[in-house]
Amino acid sequence: MAVTLTPGETGLETLEALWRAGSAARLEPGARRAVEAAAEQVRAAARGDVPVYGVNTGFGKLASVRVSPEDTEELQRNLILSHCCGVGEALDEATTRLMMALKLLSLGRGASGVRWDICAILEEMLAAGVTPVIPAQGSVGASGDLAPLAHLAAVMIGEGEALFEDARMSGADALSKAGLSPVVLGPKEGLALINGTQFSTACALAALFDAGRMLRGATVTASLSTDAIMGSTQPLQPEIHALRGQPGQIDVATAMSGLMQGSEIRESHREDDTRVQDPYCIRCQPQVAGAALDLLRFAARTLEIEANAVTDNPLVTEAGIISGGNFHAEPVAFAADQIALALSEIGAIAQRRVALMVDPTLSHDLPPFLTPAPGLNSGFMIAEVTTAALMSENKHLANPCSTDSTPTSANQEDHVSMAAHGARRLLRMNANLSVILGVEALCAAQGIEARAPLATSPALQSVMGAIRECVPALGQDRYMAPDLEAAASLVRSDALAEAAGVAVGL
């Protein structure tokens, strides 16, 4: 069943469900009236003598060149073809479909001046499973994501390449096999399709959705690690966090406290423990992960607004057709940088917990590298090194993209956002973080089992069950790579959080 999109009011929960399920999407039928009214304004402008950017003029630095009404269709077609300059690997299919849905949302606001036919072909492509092949590189995130969106529009007019029924083919063949006909673009329609931030926003949203799972997974793995090293739950006391008042911190501490409730391991060392305080990676998890959660929530709000925004140019309003700069993706670039910071820090503190658990001088009597026969076996020695490598990689990837601008298009577009690759790098960061957290889960599970006959809490026992269904305990050394991938998959799928009943949300 197709997801109904209400322009200006579609929430992140709907968009995440669409992205994960690969659902079709259609606009709320009531949007048609505003769309058609704006299209009539554009048609009238195209027939007139007054120059209107992108309607009866050239583009960018060529905006002063007038174009006659009889050349309108060729103008828009040439725009699409000339802007299909994307390079690199293709964007994944799920995020491409999300991008198409976001373009629908933007056009559905009735300020872009396209005919309803343009919205309809997007809906039909989503329903039929015609997915344009979008090379992921080539956008600087200003004047819209021009190259990626041009590759989307190319398929709509029977050009470019698309995926259909698991095969890659020409856009014309994909439409034909799906029983669809290409559209002929009218005044401004090509410009409306390629102006906009939908590529950057789709990539950032996809990363945000997975970042929520990373945060929940880290809440679970941090709780496991705390019990594995026989850490204190005193730093989770609500009074501490209420005194600071940071909402993310309060939520993470509350969740961790609930997860550890009823742990025999915890109760065993409440008295006569010679340690006064745990290392920061244990004691300060609510403060660090909570701050990351607050950043993710801020980015989520920005991206929810952007998902519903009109970001092409010029825009059709009651006051006329007005040129502006809504295509500049600075809000998305900032949101992507914030997500990157959060992912990097969640991983940085988790990696320190992995290092803590494999170090016999710090782990409170756990066996070296968590192997029952150290020396003959290396246990989790190199798994910890892998987490260090991925942590360092994410630190480098977290450097801001939004501060890097360069002039383009003969200095007409002289400040750009770099939102596109700022959002794309987050896919790699999430993948890296899932491995760090997966290794932490394996180490913590090994550590908790070493505390037998003492048991962890009921909630964390459920998590242990989920882990052991996929990865058995480590006795003798074995080929480790599949174990790491299986554990990372538990994080990516939200299985750890589901087993624990953790519902910390964005």
CA distance 395 to 372: 33
SS3 276: coil
Q: Do residues 344 and 400 touch, judged by C-beta distance below 8 A? A: no
CA distance 319 to 305: 23
Which amino acid is it at 495?
A
Catalytic residue check, 53: yes
Element (H, E) at 77: helix 72-83
412: number of Cβ within 10 Å: 13
Element (H, E) at 349: helix 330-358
Element (H, E) at 322: strand 320-322
Which amino acid is it at 186?
G
Q: Closest Cα partner for 225 from 372, 442, 371?
A: 442
Q: Where are the beta strands (DSSP E) in 126-225?
A: 131-132, 135-137, 161-164, 167-170
92: number of Cβ within 10 Å: 15
Q: Do residues 63 and 53 touch, judged by C-beta distance below 8 A? A: yes
Catalytic residue among 53, 59, 164, 380: 53
Element (H, E) at 211: helix 198-228
SS3 197: coil
Q: Do residues 454 and 265 touch, judged by C-beta distance below 8 A? A: yes
Omega cis (within 30) before 314: yes
* Intra-chain end-to-end CA distance of the chain, in Å: 26
| Residue whose pair of structure tokens reads 């607004």 in the numeric block | 305
Which amino acid is it at 319?
A
**Which DSSP symbol is given to 30?**
G
| Residue whose pair of structure tokens reads 């200095």 in the numeric block | 411
Active site residues per annotation: 53
